[in-house]
Amino acid sequence: MLQSPRGRAGTAFLQLAIAARTMAGASAVSLPELRSLLALGRARLIDVRSREEAAAGTIPGALNIPVSELESALQMEPAAFQALYSTQKPKLEDENLIFFCQMGKRGLQATQLAQGLGYTGYGIVCMRKVLLAGE
């Protein structure tokens, strides 16, 4: 579920309605698969939306790397990546590296960038935000 930066309980929350679809060069991740991977702690989520979009709400635990800086980020030395993003750099062989954005275009672009750099374990989740009252 998306978390509002304010985290107000009892108000309307934004939730992800994830419509995974297969795109050229990308593996689709279904909602049940994503839930399972998250529950097991086996998904590495990268939100490739802008910082402003991510600040408005994202999947808890996701790392925000805007697609405009993803290629340079994935080419950084591990220590530089750690210093900039406060987390370990994904390894080329990491499984379940999942890129997401609002509609899927930037997620697909990110997936193709990662593939071009030699990353092998990746998927894409295409999302739309849906306002749900009282959840």
For the chain, what are the domain ranges?
A: 13-132
Cα distance between residue 10 and residue 25, in whole Å: 41
pLDDT surpasses 80 at 125: no
Q: Which of 45, 73, 101, 110 is catalytic?
A: 101
Q: Kindly state the average pLDDT of the residues 44-61.
A: 92
101 is catalytic: yes
The superfamily CATH assigns to domain 13-132 is: Rhodanese-like domain (3.40.250.10)
Return the ∠ at Cα 92 (arms to 88 and 96), rounded to 5°. Answer: 80
Write down the pLDDT at residue 10.
27
pLDDT at residue 11 is higher than 60: no
